[in-house]
Chain A
Amino acid sequence: MASLLMICRKAPYGSSYAREAIDIALAASAFEVKVAMLFTDDGVLQLLKGQNTANTGSKNVEAVLSSLPLYEVAPILVNEDALAQRNLSVSDLNMAVELCRAKDVSALCAQYDRVLTI
């Protein structure tokens, strides 16, 4: 079974990267690829609790991300350095995550067949 690590680096609403990353994760999962996601840099902002898109007409990234475990996307990794730089902690996030450090990225990549930054 092939494996893919997606490294998500973009804030959720300023561009469509976050939504598109979710689409890629689900498509790969449908092809029986073992998908893991690492949220780092501005990507950690995708996981913030309390996103409300009722008045903007966009897809709620928080809601979609919280469904990822149903598609067996795991682990969901978060760079704790990126959280700390933004004055955030795991209690600000909407799901259970595994923490890692920026310097772990290379070792993580080595565990997967393919890696993608988005």
Chain B
Amino acid sequence: MTSALRFAEAAVASGHDLFRVFFFHDAVATGNAYTIAPQDQENLPKAWQSFAQQHKVDMVLCISSALRRGIVNKREAERYSLSGANALDSFDLSGLGQWVEAMLVSDRIMTFGA
């Protein structure tokens, strides 16, 4: 997911509008606030969070991918009676319709799968 972030930074820097970053499959871990990076390594969730705040980019965790992997925000934690939430505030949990909408309004979609 570092490469997706580097690509997103380069796209914004070269004047492109980034409509949405949709985190799908194992990439939903990027929204986990409880991620602790070793001291000499980049904390990817925090890096995405500051990127999104700086450039006002919409970031969405696929809700079914996230729930399956135990990543929930306050709303979902309450819905499923869980003791706490672990999704970073910068990420929304939402459905695949968000991906479809982004696909429809954007000139390009990029997939970072590895």
In the complex, the answer to whether A31 meets B97 with C-beta atoms within 8 Å is: yes
CB neighbors of A among B48-99 (8 A): 62, 64-65, 68, 95-97, 99
Q: List 22 A-B contacts (CB under 8 A).
A: A2-B104, A16-B25, A16-B68, A17-B25, A20-B25, A20-B62, A20-B64, A23-B64, A23-B96, A24-B100, A27-B99, A28-B100, A28-B103, A30-B97, A31-B97, A31-B101, A31-B104, A33-B104, A114-B103, A114-B109, A116-B109, A118-B111
| Contacts A27-B95, A116-B111; A20 near B100 (Cβ below 8 A) | no
CB neighbors of B among A1-36 (8 A): 2, 4, 15-17, 20, 23-24, 27-28, 30-31, 33
Tell me the nearest residue of chain A to B98, going by C-beta. A27
Tell me the nearest residue of chain B to A2, going by C-beta. B104
Q: Could you list which residues of chain B lie within 8 angstroms of chain A, going by C-beta atoms? A: 24-25, 62, 64-65, 68, 95-97, 99-101, 103-104, 109, 111, 113
In the complex, the answer to whether B25 meets A27 with C-beta atoms within 8 Å is: no
In the complex, the answer to whether B25 meets A31 with C-beta atoms within 8 Å is: no
State the main secondary structure of chain A at its contact with B. Answer: mixed
Which of B62, B101, B103 is the most central at the interface, judged by chain A CB atoms within 10 Å of its CB?
B103
State the main secondary structure of chain B at its contact with A. Answer: helix
Bitwise interface map of A from 98 to 118 toward B, beta carbon under 8 Å scored 1, else 0: 000000000000000010111
- Shortest distance between the CB of A1 and any CB in chain B (Å): 11
In the complex, the answer to whether A117 meets B104 with C-beta atoms within 8 Å is: no
- Shortest distance between the CB of A61 and any CB in chain B (Å): 15
| Contacts A16-B68, A31-B104, A116-B111; A24 near B25 (Cβ below 8 A) | no
In the complex, the answer to whether A24 meets B104 with C-beta atoms within 8 Å is: no
| Given pairs A20-B64, A27-B97, A28-B103, 4 additional interface contacts (CB within 8 A) | A17-B25, A31-B97, A114-B103, A116-B103
In the complex, the answer to whether B104 meets A27 with C-beta atoms within 8 Å is: no
- Shortest distance between the CB of B50 and any CB in chain A (Å): 28
List of A residues within 8 angstroms of B111 by Cβ: 116-118
In the complex, the answer to whether A24 meets B109 with C-beta atoms within 8 Å is: no
